[in-house]
A = this chain, B = another copy of it.
Amino acid sequence: MPDWIEEPPIPGSYRSIFKWGAPDAFKHPNKRLYKLMKETFNLTENDFLKRHNEGNEPVRCGHKIGLSKSHISALTRIVGPDNVSTDDYSRVKYASGKTAEEAIKLRNGIVDRAADVVVHPRGKDDVQKIVAYCNRNRIPIYVYGGGSSVNFGLRPSKRGVTLVMSKYMNAIIELNEANQTVRVQPGMLGPAYEEMLNSAPENLGAKRRYTGGHFPQSFEYSSVGGWVATLGSGQSSSYYGDAYTLVISQEYVTPAGAIATLGYPATATGPKINDIMKGNEGSYGILVELTMKIYRYMPENRKRFAYMFPTWDAAVEASREITQGEFGMPAVFRISDQEETDVALKLYGIEGTIIDAFMRIRGFKPLQRCLFLGTAEGEKNFARNVKRQVKKICKKFGALYITGYPVTQWEHGRYTDPYLREDLQDYGIMIDTLETGVTWDNIHHLHKGVREFIKKRPRTICMTHASHFYPQGTNLYFIFIAKMKHIREYIAFQDGIIDRINRYGGSLSHHHGVGKMLGPWMEKHLGRNQMEVLRALKRHFDPNNIMNPGGQLGLDVRGKDWRKIK
């Protein structure tokens, strides 16, 4: 096995910024994945002897601070000197998301863009004052939540100020057990949020335990505010809902004034401001408080089940039948296509086990067979019935029950797969993902179309799964792994995939959001008249274009010019 890095990055280094997750946490490719990569990319052990561009150098920003001293002083007067940073490291750290492109550039010491100053607001009042000041003085404002953006959503295209929400605005304000809602600040990260809810009796004096029901792969390094601002989905969204449906009300500070939407479970009082604000990705205003739905926490009722389908078509048909069967939905609900199934069986350590042997005997052939993973949650009998109905449908479509073991294995790695990236990049191998929403009647066309494009490139792994289900459709999540020499090649390849998704009728994003990266496709995707609705709202909330300007949602920049803004 290669000498995978096992040391936390050097503090202050580029690597300490682009590395995913906890500094001292790692997930290395296992033997089977390593073997697959060598075979696929035509590599030998020699290719894994030397790591490239580890990014161990100390961070240098390289961009002059454009903001005047008097502006910085004014901001300092608002939040206090401890909460303003202009050092290189802070400026680069809070300008960086988690795109593969940013990682590669940081490995090469390239800092594309940095805000002039990083500010940690202590609460709503600070945000209000900062927005008022910046609006008067036309200073751009960017927001950093958990930092897990994969589309340059937090890139400070036009410099100015980056607000970091997680230093102070990171707590539950009030648990309302009657309404089963929680008021929470936007900078609270996933694990703290879920832990407070799970231990509500101990932490909050509650009668019951609760769950937020939102578990994106980025759970550990994403914030509650970010979930809503970018329209995330968790791995149990088929049961608990997407961030869009989890948020009952929101409070915003915008250049046009503050807004606190009403917290009714339903109203018929015109277009819903609460929904209009969702997904604005910091371009209309800054989310300063949320009221979220919560659910009773009943892990004791959870059922796990996995099936192997003979083909992708059968897995898709069964999934559709499950979503439309009106017995409730599984929580975790994933189907992997042929190629992902093959890799998954390696990753989860199932290849070569007795389960694998059993599958082969029963005629489930590698690179045809497709894996289905699921859990059922909720009330005990409800969960039991979901499991029973799923079984009935899976059998009908020729699937083999392969126990709950693969689900347990998947659960162990559910948040850790992103850690693989650093090991791969150390040896010049790129791994990245793009994802899309799709209706049932278009899933095969879209899947084939995108795979065709990706696989046209020689020696490229393309794994696809669907993991968020609705009676009307699902999402497709494409993961590609390829050995690439130049960042330019990577960007062109990625653009090609996005073009394909758009041309083959997928939505531009199912749950990663738009950011600046997908901005150039927005008008084509939505149509000009709908794009103009988003722009009309932008002009209303932010007439001076200070909120996340420079390409976000494709609002204020034509085509791919967002990369060129100086």
Binding site for B on A (CB under 8 A): 176, 178-181, 230-233, 242, 244, 248, 256-273, 275-281, 284, 293, 295-296, 298, 320, 324-328, 377-379, 381-382, 385, 388-389, 437-441, 468, 470-475, 507-514, 518, 522, 525-530, 532-534, 536-537, 539-541, 553
Q: Cα distance A48–B394 when bound, in Å?
A: 66
A438 to B532: give the CA distance in the assembly, Å: 34
Other-chain residue from B178, B248, B296, B513 in contact with A441 (beta carbon distance below 8 A): B178
By a CB distance below 8 angstroms, the chain B residues around A233 are 266, 268
Contacts A381-B389, A526-B273 given; indicate if A268 touches B180 (C-beta within 8 A). Answer: no
Q: CB < 8 Å: which of B276, B378, B439, B474 contacts A271?
A: B276
The residue of chain B having its C-beta at the shortest distance from the C-beta of A469 within the complex is: B265
Q: With A385-B382, A437-B266 as given contacts, are A275 and B273 in contact (CB-CB < 8 Å)?
A: no
Q: Are A293 and B471 in contact (CB under 8 A)?
A: yes
CA A257 to CA B382, docked complex, whole Å: 47
Assess the A529–B256 pair: CB atoms within 8 A.
yes
Contacts A260-B527, A266-B468 given; 16 further ones with Cβ under 8 A?
A231-B269, A257-B532, A265-B472, A268-B512, A268-B514, A270-B280, A270-B522, A271-B276, A271-B537, A293-B472, A296-B325, A298-B326, A327-B382, A328-B382, A382-B382, A536-B540
Determine which of B263, B281, B437 lies in contact with A265 in the assembled complex, contact meaning CB atoms within 8 Å. Answer: B437
**Identity of the chain B residue whose Cβ is nearest the Cβ of A273 in the assembled complex:** B530
Find A382's partner among B267, B320, B326 (CB 8 Å cutoff).
B326
The CA-CA distance from A327 to B514 in the complex, in Å, is: 35
The reply to whether B256 and A532 contact each other, CB–CB distance below 8 Å, is yes
5 residue pairs of the A-B complex, CB under 8 angstroms, read A231-B268, A231-B269, A263-B439, A268-B509, A271-B278
Residues of B within 8 A of A244 (CB): 266, 272
If A259-B529, A295-B326, A536-B540 touch, whether A268 touches B513 (CB-CB below 8 Å) is: yes
Nearest residue in B to A263 (C-beta to C-beta)? B439
Selected from B178, B281, B529, the residue in CB contact (under 8 A) with A257 is B529
Check B511 against A258 for contact (C-beta < 8 Å).
no
Partner of A439, one of B179, B514, B536: B179
C-alpha gap A231/B269 in the complex (Å)? 8
Closest to A443 in B: B178
Residues of B within 8 A of A527 (CB): 259-260
CA distance in complex: A118, B272 (Å): 31
A280 to chain B, nearest CB (A): 6
Which B residues touch A272, using CB under 8 A?
A: 244, 275, 278-279
Known: A262-B526, A529-B256. A269 touches B327 (CB 8 A): no
- Chain B residue numbers with a CB within 8 Å of A179 are 439-441, 472-473
Q: Which 4 A-B pairs have the closest CB atoms?
A: A265-B470, A231-B268, A536-B540, A326-B378
